[in-house]
Each structure stands twice: as structure tokens, then as C-alpha cells.
Amino acid sequence: MHSNELVDLLADRFGYESLLHIGCEAGSDAPAGAGRAGFRADRLTYDPASADGNLPAFLEMVRSDRRFDVVSVDAHPDHAARDLLFGLNLLTPRGTMVVLLRDDLIDAYVDFTVARKAMSHVTVDATPRFGLIARNYRFNTFYAGPARPHAEIDWYLHRQVQGHALTDGDRAAMLRMIPVDRFTALMDDFEVFSS
């Protein structure tokens, strides 16, 4: 599953009409969703080697009244925490953030989701992996993995105590990982509600 397919699936299911792509690659490729009729797509890019990482443009966008149904984040590891925070603040209340989860972004992604209990997230185990974050509880029922009551503590220890290993099961629980075919089936059956 590619980002275009994922954005199309979300747009079709939830009636989304706008997308912002946040990323460190200022290439000429159009953001996902740019080809959809009536779909407003924009990008906010930066050079990760620059001193400010285009922070003024981020601040201007957040201070504006523009919000997006989908915020796609393809962050540089040095700016991941900022990109996720700004991305969440640029979402409409019913929107979804789509995070490209390369291996070098997993720690920042889990740190971000652990700190925000009033939202839901799930990771689609595709190639590449995508993390989905929503302000509401939309994705809470998607992950049906084994209960791991101490996973957050193990995650904290993994991040703070050198040499503390995290089990594959704890990592999957923190990511709330589901296979792509299960995700698409759940989306087909998902009851759309307004929130």
C-alpha cells in the first residue's frame, strides 16, 4: 500500500477533501491526493540541514486558520517531534495524520502517541509502514493484540535506560501494529460517525 492509496481510502471513507504534506524532501512530486477532483493538496517542506528547518513557515501555517483533513508526515529524524506536533495542530477535528514510519522515526512516533491519550493511533504493517493518528477514538478498536499492561513502562525504560531491550511483542503493542489486509477490511466495515 502506497501513501496515495491510503489517502484515497481515507478520503473515500471519511469524505476528506484536503491534504497537507509535511516533509524534508522538497522534490517536485505532487503530494498524495493531488490528482483527486476537488481535493485541495498543499505541502510544507524543509531542508533538514538548514538552521531553522523552515520553522517560520510552520509557525505561519499553524497561526493561520487553514486546517487539513489529512496531514501526511514524512519527517527527518531531527525534526520528527516538531513535525508530528505541528501536523496534529493542523488537522481538522475529524482528520487523520498519516506518518511514514521508517525505522529511524519509530521512537519519535511512539513517544508522541504515548504522551497523547486523548487520541487514537494504529500502525498499518505495509511496505512501507504507516502510522495513523486521529484526534478522536476512531482507530481504538482496530488493534486487537494481546494485552501488555506494562508496555508503556517498558517503552520508557527502553528510551531512558541504556541497554534495556524491548521485546517484539511490546514494540508491536506500542505501535498497535495490524496487517494491511486487516486494516482495509476494518475500513470497509467501519461505521462512519461525525466527531
Q: How confident is the model at residue 150 (pLDDT cuts 50, 70, 90)?
A: low
More confident residue, 9 or 143: 9
Q: What is the pLDDT of residue 194?
A: 41
* 46, amino acid identity: Y
Instruction: Look at residue 135 and tell me if it is in a domain.
Output: yes
3-class secondary structure, 91: strand
3-class secondary structure, 74: strand
Q: How confident is the model at residue 88 (pLDDT cuts 50, 70, 90)?
A: very high
Instruction: Look at residue 170 and tell me if it is in a domain.
Output: no
Lowest mean per-residue pLDDT among 48-62, 72-86, 88-102: 48-62
Quote the CA–CA distance of 83 and 188 in Å, as a whole number: 30
More confident residue, 36 or 143: 143
Per the structure block, which three cell numbers stand in for 105? Answer: 522515526
More confident residue, 115 or 110: 110
Which tens digit of pLDDT belongs to each residue from 169-179? 777 778 888 88
Any idea what the CATH number is for the domain that residue 77 is in? 3.40.50.150
- Structurally, the chain folds into a number of domains equal to 1
Instruction: Look at residue 164 and tell me if it is in a domain.
Output: no
Domain span at residue 71?
3-145+175-189
Which tens digit of pLDDT belongs to each residue from 37-58? 678 888 888 887 777 778 888 8
Q: What is the pLDDT of residue 71?
A: 93
Is the alpha carbon torsion for 158, 162, 167, 172 positive or negative?
positive
> Are the CB atoms for 39 and 19 separated by under 8 Å?
yes
More confident residue, 122 or 50: 122
Instruction: Look at residue 153 and tell me if it is in a domain.
Output: no
pLDDT of 79 > 50? The answer is yes
Instruction: Look at residue 157 and tell me if it is in a domain.
Output: no
Quote the CA–CA distance of 195 and 173 in Å, as a whole number: 26
Instruction: Look at residue 26 and tell me if it is in a domain.
Output: yes
Instruction: Look at residue 32 and tell me if it is in a domain.
Output: yes
pLDDT of 101 > 60? The answer is yes
Cis amide leading into 31 (omega within 30):
no
Instruction: Look at residue 102 and tell me if it is in a domain.
Output: yes
